[in-house]
């Protein structure tokens, strides 16, 4: 029938109804269609490179993501007057900022929707990366993208609150106050304290900083007050690794060139899974591996990194030093395939301080005494040193390592390690941080020993693909906007030394012993002891200020913190500068809400590659509003005003808060002489503003200043304008081996680090180091190697210090070279280097080492608690990992509640227990449990009612269960009573329409930190986080999350660790601490003087 006559179809013309009435009519109006073709939007972008050019950032139009769900422009066109049903176009001001979750400081851009600016509404619709940040390269981890849910957390504290008059701390009664009221009361208290002017008063205001995520502004605050009042969280975080690096290079930490390496050598999952500087580091590690680099992970737990590594070595936690010294032994004794030595002699001979060791016959004799070597070498040549080293490390055999690291059955892994380590030559990148270094007594030696094989192979030279030093790549100028102030100069160091942060038991701590503040404050015996000897230690703090810190929850022995913070005679006035609710807030007098990633103004610098870069975190609503023409009433409070006006609430931040507080309330009449450090040079009637301060601070970077002044010609604050618009600046790339740079000499002066030293004031010692006078002390400024002058490392010898000579003078001579107990006899003698969770302490099948120090890649200790996005991907992911066969032996199955009893191995004292959920797995080694100490948040109430305010304020309702708690000064208990129940969102409703979908109950973690007793390492001062635990199946009353703590016992443990292990200062000591090693917020040389009598 093909084809019918065409005429047949002519009947179509005679239809009784016209086609138009029959057709479905699926083609839209011209207006809608034109809206597509006339717009730049498309369903199929040419590229997934989604960052517009920076020139478009002030106004970049993009289709609305939520609206897009209706079907995209193909169905609805683009919204316009003619096409009101189309997809909405948002006009974004893209404001660069920096993530404030972990310390990596990855670049962000806040996409601020300005559509309704005229109505007084600005909203950040999303946070993306910042492609101009050369470290993070436009990428972020889950925490970066989750910043929106932190910003518009429905439980955010919307205004300052104060403990209700007449109520006690912890009762949970709050009233609303203004920032001015709070500043007035706090300022007066601070003024009255400072006005006393005596030594004690200079130790009574304490600024206790959590993760700072900025480079220098915070430390300047107490310094400007003339006090020694800076405290930090670092000794629960990083101290062990710092100590090991300081002994080698007098640098805070190392700085690897991941991307250029042939071997990625990781101790723990830090850098690739989480931490310094996760996401950036992980990206460079991925780049290196793509190129063919190998990866080794040494970790008792199979982390994400270990799972992807070429080799996973699950060494027993805390014994890693033995493994590293085994590598050193083989490097010293064996030859390469071509018969040459494996030691990079040319480098070691020039750049290691072996010469000082060989010249120090007294110390060599001591080494003989310690049993390290059999006799004092007859010669002092380099070759003699190598022979000494060979003898010193000969005992670290494969058999010894297998025994010490408990690698029985895994001997082949040591061979594989060798086969990966040697071919990489000097191109080995590593970051010896976190678990191995912080979790243990003697953890610092894991870093110290770990750098030895790397140094012997030449990898510590800081060349391409190797390991440099952190300060080479870090820029700290945030505290240096001094020229913007009336004072015009940096505040002078104080003459006071605060024993509450730097107690005399731990002169080498790296750094403040912040985690033991309540132990010190509540220990009258300790106070009396040191007072009798002549130290002036305050009995109380007049003002205690945690900043983005939750010390009560994150530190060990939490109930002791609770007891202490409740004591108004010890902590007279407390306020927390806190972006979220926290357990600590509950016990403070004021909670002052401060900003997160897009709500603050901070300069940060995060070395994730061999370059010098800064990033700038800024209050994005303020910046977007200012770009749209908005002006604050008070330029020094612009951020606060913008947040209040554009819907975030009365949320402020430190770079405006502190200048206002100090200038207007602490020193209103200038009589204390501290207000001038924050008074604006431009307008002395007010304090300094953000643009004024940061323009001056960032102008210290010459290349940035030059580029900015060209680009923003004629502007008042060109450097600030540059960083405001770009968010990051790379001052110098390819920073390799700066220690080998020639020391500048202009014929008259040596020039080191920008300072001139006349030739006749410089002396050279027998080892080539150049010395100058530094006040009452001496310091070295360079080193002569074979007739050439170099800048050198930051050590006194200006070389890598295999021999830490100053450690011998500071009471720890036996550990002045990398060493680790080689046999059972030495465990006792060298107890300071033996982890408290050593396998010799595990005597029964149910006794384990508990590995607590690893981060979940999608959580940050405390500030992510109420981010619904991060909660969703992390809930029920913090069980206690137990090796499958260990679980079988104990009859433990997946999901069982298990009781984890903590027992101190130094004293045998038990602390109590927490109940956790067991997950048997092959991903932790036999004998070692794993449970990250990041979960287990709690609250006592679901919400608080503020008199006069219409809505009740939810308390961590998306991330924390509710508990019942008892504590009587000795015993503390906690039981979970309810899981997650989202509080009704009365603010940020548009962002929280999905709260009904929350499925997680928050009942998978326990507050294990409260059960943990303090384990201060006697040298580095870090809290040894790992615990020996005794595991049993939970009984019917043991619900996951329950805890029981005898914190009186915990106090005994702390004291024994202090008294049995530390080597405190005594009357023979003249200094508080070695002057040449870092102390954040360094006081004057006078403050270092130590003059006590033995009693």
Partner 1 sequence: MQEDLKKEQLARVNIYALISRLLMTEVDEDLLKLILKDKNILSFFPVFKDWKKRKGMSNKDLIERYLNVDFTNLLLLHLIPYESFYTREDQMMETGGDNPVQQLYNDFDFRVELDTARVMAGDHIGVELEFMYKLCEAQMKALDDGAEDVVAQIAEIEYNFLKEHLVEWAPLFLLNVKNEAGTAFYFDLANFAIEFILSDFQYLSDLKKNNFKTKEESE
Half-sphere exposure of 682 (CA within 13 A, CB side): 14
User: What's the chain's Rg over C-alpha atoms?
Assistant: 31
Binding region for partner 1 (CB under 8 A) out of 41-49, 591-599, 1028-1036, 1061-1069: 41-49
**Minimal distance in Å, beta carbon 34 to partner 1?**
6
Among 40, 44, 55, 734, binds partner 1 (CB under 8 A): 44
Total binding residues toward partner 1, as defined by CB under 8 A? 38
Closer to partner 1 by Cβ: residue 11 or 1093: 11
Closer to partner 1 by Cβ: residue 19 or 409: 19
Kindly give the pairing relationship between strand 1027-1033 and strand 89-98. unpaired
CA distance linking residue 542 with residue 207, whole number of Å: 11
Using left for φ > 0, alpha for ψ between -120 and 50, and beta otherwise, residue 531 falls in alpha
Binding region for partner 1 (CB under 8 A) out of 35-43, 290-298, 422-430, 890-898: 35-43
User: Quick check: 48 binds partner 1 (CB under 8 A)?
Assistant: no
**Minimal distance in Å, beta carbon 24 to partner 1?**
5
**Minimal distance in Å, beta carbon 77 to partner 1?**
6
Among 66, 75, 423, 966, binds partner 1 (CB under 8 A): 75
Q: In the range 265-284, which residues lie near partner 1 by CB under 8 A? A: none
Give DSSP secondary structure letters for 514-549: GGGHHHHHH-HHHHHHHHHTT----SSEEEEEEES-
Q: What angle do CA 960, 965, 968 make, to 5 degrees?
A: 145
User: Quick check: 50 binds partner 1 (CB under 8 A)?
Assistant: no
What does the DSSP 8-state code read for residue 331? H
User: Quick check: 47 binds partner 1 (CB under 8 A)?
Assistant: no
User: Quick check: 28 binds partner 1 (CB under 8 A)?
Assistant: yes
E strands present in 315-367: none
For residue 684, what are its two tokens?
A: 């002395």
**Minimal distance in Å, beta carbon 40 to partner 1?**
13
Closer to partner 1 by Cβ: residue 5 or 378: 5
User: Quick check: 340 binds partner 1 (CB under 8 A)?
Assistant: no
Binding region for partner 1 (CB under 8 A) out of 21-29, 387-395, 910-918, 945-953: 21-29
Residue 208 φ then ψ, to 5°: -110, 105
User: Quick check: 43 binds partner 1 (CB under 8 A)?
Assistant: yes
User: Quick check: 82 binds partner 1 (CB under 8 A)?
Assistant: no
Among 65, 71, 775, 895, binds partner 1 (CB under 8 A): 71
User: Quick check: 22 binds partner 1 (CB under 8 A)?
Assistant: yes
Binding region for partner 1 (CB under 8 A) out of 22-30, 355-363, 443-451, 809-817: 22-30
Q: What angle do CA 203, 810, 457 make, to 5 degrees?
A: 115
Closer to partner 1 by Cβ: residue 36 or 182: 36
**Minimal distance in Å, beta carbon 89 to partner 1?**
16
User: Quick check: 4 binds partner 1 (CB under 8 A)?
Assistant: yes
User: Quick check: 12 binds partner 1 (CB under 8 A)?
Assistant: yes
For residue 359, what are its two tokens?
A: 């010249």
User: Quick check: 13 binds partner 1 (CB under 8 A)?
Assistant: yes
User: Quick check: 710 binds partner 1 (CB under 8 A)?
Assistant: no
User: Quick check: 787 binds partner 1 (CB under 8 A)?
Assistant: no
Closer to partner 1 by Cβ: residue 74 or 1059: 74
**Minimal distance in Å, beta carbon 138 to partner 1?**
24
CA distance linking residue 113 with residue 95, whole number of Å: 11
User: Quick check: 77 binds partner 1 (CB under 8 A)?
Assistant: yes
Binding region for partner 1 (CB under 8 A) out of 36-44, 450-458, 892-900, 1081-1089: 36-44
CA distance linking residue 796 with residue 784, whole number of Å: 13
Among 1, 48, 844, 950, binds partner 1 (CB under 8 A): 1
User: Quick check: 195 binds partner 1 (CB under 8 A)?
Assistant: no
CA distance linking residue 936 with residue 1039, whole number of Å: 13
User: Quick check: 18 binds partner 1 (CB under 8 A)?
Assistant: yes
Closer to partner 1 by Cβ: residue 12 or 165: 12
Among 17, 48, 346, 844, binds partner 1 (CB under 8 A): 17
Using left for φ > 0, alpha for ψ between -120 and 50, and beta otherwise, residue 741 falls in beta
Closer to partner 1 by Cβ: residue 73 or 407: 73
User: Quick check: 65 binds partner 1 (CB under 8 A)?
Assistant: no
Q: What angle do CA 130, 131, 133 make, to 5 degrees?
A: 70
DSSP reduced 3-state for 681: coil
Kindly give the pairing relationship between strand 205-209 and strand 311-313. unpaired
For residue 398, what are its two tokens?
A: 């494969």
Closer to partner 1 by Cβ: residue 44 or 685: 44
Q: Which of 446, 536, 509 is nearest to 1063 (CA)?
A: 509
Tokens 């070429």 belong to 310
CA distance linking residue 847 with residue 400, whole number of Å: 23
Closer to partner 1 by Cβ: residue 36 or 1043: 36
Chain Cα centroid distance, residue 661: 27
User: Quick check: 685 binds partner 1 (CB under 8 A)?
Assistant: no
**Minimal distance in Å, beta carbon 68 to partner 1?**
13
Using left for φ > 0, alpha for ψ between -120 and 50, and beta otherwise, residue 778 falls in beta
Half-sphere exposure of 780 (CA within 13 A, CB side): 23
**Minimal distance in Å, beta carbon 81 to partner 1?**
17
Bond before 511 cis per omega within 30 degrees: yes
What does the DSSP 8-state code read for residue 493? P
CA distance linking residue 641 with residue 618, whole number of Å: 14
Binding region for partner 1 (CB under 8 A) out of 72-80, 435-443, 642-650, 919-927: 72-80
User: Quick check: 3 binds partner 1 (CB under 8 A)?
Assistant: yes
Closer to partner 1 by Cβ: residue 8 or 374: 8
Q: Which of 191, 181, 140 is nearest to 160 (CA)?
A: 181
**Minimal distance in Å, beta carbon 29 to partner 1?**
8
User: Quick check: 24 binds partner 1 (CB under 8 A)?
Assistant: yes
Closer to partner 1 by Cβ: residue 9 or 999: 9
**Minimal distance in Å, beta carbon 25 to partner 1?**
8
Q: Count CB atoms within 10 A of the CB of residue 987.
A: 18
Helical segments of 567-689, H only: 620-627, 638-645, 654-660
CA distance linking residue 548 with residue 552, whole number of Å: 12
Binding region for partner 1 (CB under 8 A) out of 70-78, 473-481, 679-687, 997-1005: 70-78
Describe the strand order of the beta sheet including 744-745 as a list of residue ranges: 744-745, 749-752, 755-758
Q: Which of 458, 443, 460 is nearest to 321 (CA)?
A: 443
Closer to partner 1 by Cβ: residue 36 or 701: 36
Describe the strand order of the beta sheet including 728-732 as a list of residue ranges: 602-604, 612-617, 728-732
**Minimal distance in Å, beta carbon 557 to partner 1?**
58
Closer to partner 1 by Cβ: residue 26 or 844: 26
Binding region for partner 1 (CB under 8 A) out of 68-76, 283-291, 597-605, 803-811: 68-76
Task: Name beta bridge partners: 881.
Answer: 919, 930
Closer to partner 1 by Cβ: residue 39 or 550: 39
Closer to partner 1 by Cβ: residue 1 or 844: 1
CA distance linking residue 129 with residue 118, whole number of Å: 28
Binding region for partner 1 (CB under 8 A) out of 4-12, 47-55, 227-235, 640-648: 4-12
| Contacts to partner 1 by CB under 8 A | 1-4, 6, 8-20, 22-28, 30, 32-34, 36-37, 42-44, 71, 74-75, 77
């Amino acid at each position: 029938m093909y084809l019918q006559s065409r005429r047949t179809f002519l009947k179509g013309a005679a239809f009784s109804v016209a086609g138009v009435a029959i057709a479905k009519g699926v083609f839209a109006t011209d207006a809608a269609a034109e809206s597509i073709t006339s717009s730049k939007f498309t369903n199929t972008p040419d590229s997934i490179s989604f960052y517009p050019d920076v020139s478009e950032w002030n106004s970049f139009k993009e289709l609305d993501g939520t609206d897009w769900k209706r079907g995209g422009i193909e169905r609805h066109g683009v919204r316009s007057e003619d096409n009101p049903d189309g997809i909405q176009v948002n006009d974004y001001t893209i404001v660069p900022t920096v993530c404030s979750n972990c310390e990596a400081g990855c670049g962000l851009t806040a996409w601020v929707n300005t559509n309704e600016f005229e109505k007084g509404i600005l909203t950040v619709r999303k946070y993306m990366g910042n492609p101009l940040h050369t470290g993070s390269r436009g990428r972020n981890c889950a925490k970066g993208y989750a910043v929106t849910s932190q910003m518009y957390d429905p439980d955010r504290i919307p205004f300052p609150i104060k403990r209700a008059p007449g109520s006690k701390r912890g009762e949970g009664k709050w009233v609303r106050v203004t920032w001015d009221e709070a500043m007035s009361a706090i300022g007066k208290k601070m003024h009255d304290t400072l006005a006393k002017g005596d030594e004690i008063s200079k130790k009574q205001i304490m600024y206790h900083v959590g993760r700072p995520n900025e480079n220098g502004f915070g430390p300047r605050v107490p310094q400007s007050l003339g006090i020694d009042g800076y405290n930090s969280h670092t000794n629960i975080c990083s101290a062990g690794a710092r100590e090991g690096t300081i002994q080698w290079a007098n640098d805070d930490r190392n700085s690897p060139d991941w991307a250029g390496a042939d071997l990625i050598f990781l101790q723990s999952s830090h850098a690739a899974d989480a931490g310094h500087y996760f996401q950036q580091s992980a990206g460079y590690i991925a780049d290196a591996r793509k190129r063919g680099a190998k990866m080794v992970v040494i970790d008792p737990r199979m982390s994400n990194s270990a799972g992807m590594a070429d080799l996973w070595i699950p060494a027993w936690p805390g014994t890693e030093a033995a493994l590293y010294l085994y590598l050193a032994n083989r490097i010293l004794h064996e030859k390469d395939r071509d018969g040459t030595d494996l030691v990079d002699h040319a480098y070691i001979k020039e750049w290691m301080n072996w010469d000082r060791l060989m010249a120090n016959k007294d110390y060599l004799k001591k080494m003989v005494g310690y049993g390290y070597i059999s006799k004092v070498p007859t010669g002092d040549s380099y070759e003699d040193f190598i022979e000494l080293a060979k003898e010193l490390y000969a005992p670290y055999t494969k058999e010894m390592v297998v025994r010490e690291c408990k690698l029985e059955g895994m001997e082949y892994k040591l061979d594989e390690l060798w086969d990966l380590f040697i071919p990489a030559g000097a191109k080995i990148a590593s970051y010896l941080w976190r678990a191995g270094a912080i979790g243990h007594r003697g953890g610092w030696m894991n870093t110290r020993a770990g750098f030895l094989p790397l140094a012997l192979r030449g990898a510590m030279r800081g060349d391409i693909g190797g390991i440099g030093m952190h300060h080479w790549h870090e820029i700290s100028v945030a505290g240096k906007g001094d020229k913007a102030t009336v004072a015009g100069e940096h505040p002078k160091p104080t003459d006071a030394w605060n024993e509450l942060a730097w107690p005399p038991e731990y002169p080498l701590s790296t750094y403040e012993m912040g985690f033991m503040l309540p132990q010190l404050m509540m220990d009258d015996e300790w106070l009396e002891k040191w007072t009798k000897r002549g130290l002036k230690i305050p009995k109380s703090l007049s003002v205690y200020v945690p900043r983005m810190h939750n010390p009560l929850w994150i530190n060990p022995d939490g109930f002791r913190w609770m007891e202490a913070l409740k004591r108004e005679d010890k902590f007279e006035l407390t306020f927390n500068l806190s972006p979220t609710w926290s357990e600590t807030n509950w016990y403070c007098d004021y909670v002052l809400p401060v900003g997160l990633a897009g709500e603050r103004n901070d300069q940060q610098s995060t070395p994730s590659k061999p370059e010098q870069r800064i990033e700038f975190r800024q209050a994005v609503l303020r910046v977007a509003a200012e770009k749209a023409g908005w002006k604050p009433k008070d330029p020094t409070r612009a951020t606060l005003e913008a947040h209040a006006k554009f819907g975030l609430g009365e949320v402020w931040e430190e770079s405006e808060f502190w200048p206002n507080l100090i200038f207007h309330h602490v020193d209103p009449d200038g009589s204390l002489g501290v207000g001038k450090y924050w008074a604006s040079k431009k307008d002395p009637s007010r304090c300094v503003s953000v643009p004024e301060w940061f323009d001056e601070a960032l102008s210290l970077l010459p290349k940035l200043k030059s580029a900015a002044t060209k680009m923003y010609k004629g502007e008042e604050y060109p450097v600030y304008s540059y960083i405001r618009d770009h968010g990051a600046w790379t001052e110098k790339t390819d920073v390799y081996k700066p220690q080998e740079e020639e020391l500048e000499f202009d014929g008259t002066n040596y020039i080191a680090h920008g300072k001139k030293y006349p030739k006749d004031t410089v002396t050279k010692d027998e080892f080539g180091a150049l010395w100058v006078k530094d006040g009452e002390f001496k310091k070295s400024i360079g080193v002569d190697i074979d007739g050439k002058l170099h800048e050198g490392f930051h050590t006194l010898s200006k070389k890598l210090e295999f021999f830490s000579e100053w450690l011998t003078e500071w009471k720890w001579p036996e550990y002045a070279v990398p060493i680790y107990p080689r046999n059972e006899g030495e465990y006792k003698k060298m107890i300071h280097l033996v982890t408290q969770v050593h396998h010799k302490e595990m005597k029964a099948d149910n006794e384990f080492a508990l590995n607590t120090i690893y981060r979940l890649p999608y959580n940050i200790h405390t500030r992510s608690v109420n981010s619904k996005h991060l909660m969703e991907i992390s809930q029920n992911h913090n069980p206690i990992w137990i090796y499958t066969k260990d679980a079988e032996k104990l009859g433990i199955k997946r999901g069982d509640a298990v009781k984890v009893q903590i027992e101190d191995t130094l004293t045998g004292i038990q602390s109590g227990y927490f109940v956790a959920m067991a997950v048997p797995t092959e991903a932790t080694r036999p004998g070692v449990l794993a449970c990250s100490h990041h979960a287990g948040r709690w609250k006592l109430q679901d919400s608080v009612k503020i008199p006069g305010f219409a809505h009740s304020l939810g308390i961590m309702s998306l991330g924390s269960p509710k508990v019942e708690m008892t504590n009587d000064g000795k015993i503390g208990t906690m039981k979970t009573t309810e899981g997650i129940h989202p509080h009704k969102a009365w603010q940020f409703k548009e962002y929280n329409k999905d709260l009904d979908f929350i499925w997680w109950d928050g009942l998978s973690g326990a507050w294990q930190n409260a059960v943990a007793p303090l384990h201060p390492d006697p040298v580095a001062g870090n809290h040894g986080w790992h615990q020996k635990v005794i595991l049993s199946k939970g009984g019917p009353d043991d619900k996951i999350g329950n805890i029981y703590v005898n914190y009186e016992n915990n106090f005994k443990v702390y004291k024994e660790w202090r008294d049995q292990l530390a080597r405190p200062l005594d009357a023979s000591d003249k200094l508080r601490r070695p002057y040449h090693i870092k102390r954040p917020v360094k006081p004057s040389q006078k403050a270092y003087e130590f003059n006590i009598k033995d009693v």
